[in-house]
């Protein structure tokens, strides 16, 4: 199952040419990823972020582009999420994100719990 999350562009997002700034676009993708974590999705940290900017993303008043997110891999201590921000029916930004289960008390990675595996497996597409 894919997680679909509409994102809100703000008037401060674009540059002088009307294109959404690349750093702000990453924030939009992060908002969608955080929306996936409801409950046992847990204490995860971002370990890797690979981004492809495939086309320009434009600011338009009132428009809410959608970020589609799904899990492509679940490992022992980490998982990979693919995210695509779509505008005008085309993927503008594609990101692959590695999230690692983390124990903040010991400052180390830890194995995913059964509850976390179950949570993230809902979004698994291979």
Q: Return d(Cα 114, Cα 82) in angstroms, integer.
A: 22
Q: What percent of the chain has pLDDT over 70?
A: 96
CA 101 to chain centroid, in Å, comes to 16
Please state, as a whole number, how many other Cβ atoms lie within 10 Å of the Cβ of residue 62. 6
Contact 123, 3 (CB under 8 A): yes
* pLDDT over 60 (residue 93): yes
Q: In whole numbers, what is the pLDDT of the chain averaged over residues?
A: 91
pTM greater than 0.95 (yes/no): no
- Tell me how far CA of residue 75 lies from CA of 82, 107, 108, in angstroms: 15, 19, 16
At 17 the pLDDT is 76
Query: pLDDT tier at 69 (50, 70, 90 boundaries)?
Result: very high
Contact 66, 6 (CB under 8 A): yes
pLDDT digits (tens, 9 = 90+) for 9-63: 877 777 777 778 888 889 999 999 999 887 665 689 999 999 999 999 888 888 8
- Tell me how far CA of residue 13 lies from CA of 18, 30, 35, 51, 118, in angstroms: 9, 15, 20, 18, 36
């Amino acid at each position: 199952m894919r997680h679909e999350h509409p994102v809100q562009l703000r008037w401060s997002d674009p540059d002088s040419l009307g294109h959404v700034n690349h750093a702000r676009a990453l924030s939009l993708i992060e908002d969608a990823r955080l929306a996936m974590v409801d409950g046992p999705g847990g204490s995860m940290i971002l370990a890797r972020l690979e981004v492809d900017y495939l086309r320009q993303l434009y600011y338009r008043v009132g428009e809410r582009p959608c970020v589609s997110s799904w899990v492509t891999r679940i490992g022992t201590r980490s998982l990979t999420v693919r995210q695509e921000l779509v505008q005008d029916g085309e993927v503008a930004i594609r990101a692959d994100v590695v999230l690692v289960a983390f124990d903040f008390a010991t400052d180390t990675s830890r194995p995913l719990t059964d509850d976390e595996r179950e949570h993230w497996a809902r979004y698994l597409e291979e």
